[in-house]
Amino acid sequence: MKKKLSKALTWYPLFWLALFYSFVLRSYFFLGAWPKPYHPDPKTLNFEIHMIFVQAGLVLLLTLISVLLGIILFYRNKFDQEVKRQRNLFIVFSLFTMAILFFDPGNFWSWFMD
Please indicate, yes or no, whether the overall pTM of this predicted structure exceeds 0.95: no
| Range 38-55 average pLDDT | 91
Percent of the chain with pLDDT over 90: 53
In a domain, 4, yes or no: no
- The number of distinct structural domains making up the chain is 1
Residue (of 24, 15, 29, 50) closest to 107 by Cα position: 24
In a domain, 2, yes or no: no
In a domain, 98, yes or no: yes
Domain span at residue 102 reads: 12-113
| Range 73-81 average pLDDT | 73
- pLDDT of 68 reads 80
In a domain, 44, yes or no: yes
DSSP structure string for 10-37: HHHHHHHHHHHHHHHHHHHHHHSS--BT
The phi and psi torsions of 77 (rounded to 5 degrees) equal: -105, 10
